[in-house]
A and B are shown apart, each in its own frame.
Chain A
Amino acid sequence: MVRKVDVDIEKRLILVVDDEYINREIMREILKDTYDIIFAENGKEAIDKIYEYKDTLSLVLLDLIMPVMKGFEVLKHFNESKKLKRKIPFIVITSDHKSEVESLDLGAVDFIPKPFPEANVISARIKRTIELFEDRETIKSTERDALTKLYAPEYFYRYATNLDKNLSIDMDALIIDIHHFHILNIRFGTEVGDEVLSSFSKKIKETIHKYNGIVSRRGADVFMAYLPHTDEYKEILSEIENIDVEEVKGRITVKIGVYPNVDKSIDIRRRYDRAKIACDTLRNKVVTSSVAYFNKDLYDKELFEEQLIDDFEKALEEKQFKVYFQPKFNVQGDKPVISSAEALLRWIHPTLGFISPGIFIPVFEKNGLIQRMDHYVWDETAKKIKEIKDKYGLSFPISVNVSRVNMFDNDLVNDFESIVKENGIKNEELLLEITESSYTENSEQIIDTVNDLRNHGFKIEMDDFGSGYSSLNMISILPIDVLKIDMALVRNAFSAEGNTRILELIMDIKKSLNVIAVAEGVETLEQVEALKKIGCDVIQGYYFSRPLNEKDFEEFLKKELNL
């Protein structure tokens, strides 16, 4: 059974400002069936209320002559400066024709005379004003998505917030996602893709409306819904996935992330982050349409991530982040020779102990802290290179990772230049590792940045090569110096049923590009020999050494090079 809710989910909110109780009561009686109403008794109160409800208010009905602060002052307050991001229409209530003109000058859009005209006249004028304004706003900020006619996210958030003010029942926040939609697009063309989206959004809208909820399109193939709490997601799922586009019938897989019984004290956007987190847990395991809930585990994970973010500053300050170095060996000579190293970060947390970069890096990537973390590693690494140079007279290049976000930093080249200069090392000694997926996501801009870096004499290593989706065409134009083969590829090639053919193919590519190939994650002598045979130049992995702390690394280096 669908639970019925009395409050119309799209009831507009009106602020009535009048110092007289009786006038306010009459307005309430006239408007209460069609609108949600809040009141203020004077101008000051009105201004406070307008700020409080700025996101959801559809109209202000303003009496002009009141004690404490007159309606004029309120109009002036909002007219003179751009205090509100969006315009809220004001209708002025007055018995005085002279004030009518003046208030129109001050930005009021209409007036209602006192004594009040017939109730239906008042209703009609209010309705018209609201419609007029919303139409205008639609043009400005696209209230509805052009393709699907669903609410755009900003409007949706406003309505959802409005709902919370009227409804004291439990609500669910949903993220609804078409699994692998981009593949449908590639396979059947964008025309079919658009048709799927329209049909899909219609289905979502119909279904969610039945449950008294509202719907928005969040992004390409991702939708949001806000509805009174229900346990019927199986039914909802089967209704939604059943779309009427001939080409894809029965092929659509839908993922729903539910944040049930939302905590209304947290920001509406964050509630959808939680629904998204739930939805993301389905990412790699969806075969049939499924629902995932934001549960205790995910909540704990969120808390944990928040703690990591909170602790970041202190960790930097107290040097809890340690730079480790994993040696790389050139294997093309008779004997393997240490030729370089990769700087890797470790976090020794005072209470949580050792935290794997696999855990904290994705967290910091999400909120931009990764930029500062990267800079820290670059700096420490440059110092190390300089130290080795000073102590042993040795030019020993070390590679550092450059996160995707940093690739969009306009100051990146300058930053590297100054790090290198300050530490008195050469540009080609600080090797830069950029992941393959960075290249594919926004290739043009990345390629520009990489070209810029190379023109400045920096050497670029493409990290995790083979894990992304580079096309052969793209690879041929990539500005790189080193191909670093993805660890998973190496492991697979040497697993029980694996074969090394893909690695051989990569060696062909590296030869034609005339670059150096590095393999990481190499663990056995057998692997080293096989890689050497097919032409791999450099090897990194536990076979030679695990990542070492500063002191151990120096010892290792001394021993290897007889320093």
Chain B
Amino acid sequence: MLTIQNLKALGVDTEKGLTTCMNNESFYLRLVDRAIKDSSFENLKEALDNKDYERAFEIAHSLKGVLGNLSLTPLYNIVFELTEILRKRTDMDYSNYINNLLEKRDKIKALTL
């Protein structure tokens, strides 16, 4: 189940996330639920696979903002790094980053099922 406690156990900085959301727990959880099910993750993977770094940067940048606001720290840290590398449109193998990101995402997503 998607709860503050379970999120915390997965390394999410729920305290900070809650502060941003005016300490409204159900509101916060609703947003996390939505963020985690968002297609941005898949879109990011697709862009990276296609070496479309322009698009990948845009997606990563947006995602970074959302993950940061919700303090989904484990995901945020990865996307933060990704964004910085993509800012220079670096052509490299991103599979470690994206797989790691999707794996961590799936763990949180599992809470919602």
Q: Which residues in A have some Cβ–Cβ distance to B below 8 Å? A: 19-23, 25-26, 29-30, 63, 65, 67, 95, 114-116, 118-119
Contacts and interface: CB of A to CB of B under 8 A. Distances in A.
B64 A26 contact: no
Contact of A116 (B62, B64, B69, B76): B69
Interface in B45-69: 58, 61-62, 64-66, 68-69
Nearest to A123: B22
Interface stretch (B3-11, B27-35, B101-109): B27-35
Contact of B22 (A20, A29, A63, A65): A29
Interface residues of B, number: 20
Contacts of B21: 26, 29, 119
B24 A23 contact: no
Contacts of A23: 65-66, 69
B20 A22 contact: no
Contacts of A114: 64-65, 68-69
B35 A119 contact: no
A119 B61 CA distance: 22
B89 to A, nearest CB: 15
Nearest to A28: B27
Given A21-B34, A26-B31, A118 B69 contact: no
A116 B65 CA distance: 8
B55 to A, nearest CB: 10
Contacts of A21: 34
Nearest to A113: B68
Contact of A119 (B22, B64, B70): B22
Given A25-B31, A26-B31, A29-B27, A20 B20 contact: no
A558 B17 CA distance: 100
Contact of B31 (A22, A63, A67, A95): A22
Contact of A115 (B24, B35, B61, B71): B71
Contact of B69 (A19, A22, A67): A22
B19 interface: yes
Given A22-B31, A29-B27, A115 B69 contact: yes
A95 B64 contact: yes
A22 B70 contact: yes
Contacts, number: 54
B71 A20 contact: no
Contacts of B65: 20, 23, 63, 95, 114-115
Given A115-B20, A115-B71, A116-B69, 7 more contacts: A22-B66, A23-B69, A25-B27, A115-B76, A116-B20, A119-B20, A119-B22
8 contacts: A22-B70, A29-B22, A29-B24, A30-B20, A65-B62, A95-B65, A114-B68, A118-B20
Interface of B: 19-22, 24, 27, 31, 34-35, 58, 61-62, 64-66, 68-71, 76
A31 to B, nearest CB: 10
Contacts of B68: 95, 114-116
Contacts of A95: 61, 64-65, 68
A148 to B, nearest CB: 39
Contact of A20 (B19, B27, B66, B76): B66
A144 B65 CA distance: 41
Contacts of A65: 58, 61-62
The 9 closest A-B pairs by CB, nearest first: A115-B68, A114-B65, A22-B66, A115-B69, A22-B31, A116-B69, A116-B20, A20-B66, A29-B22
Contact of B58 (A63, A67, A116): A67
A311 B19 CA distance: 65
B19 A119 contact: yes
B38 to A, nearest CB: 8
A20 B31 contact: no
Contacts of A26: 20-21, 31, 69
Contacts of B24: 29
A20 B62 contact: yes
Contacts of B76: 115
Nearest to B24: A29
B17 to A, nearest CB: 9
B40 to A, nearest CB: 9
Nearest to B87: A96
Contacts of B64: 95, 114
Nearest to A118: B19
A341 B5 CA distance: 99
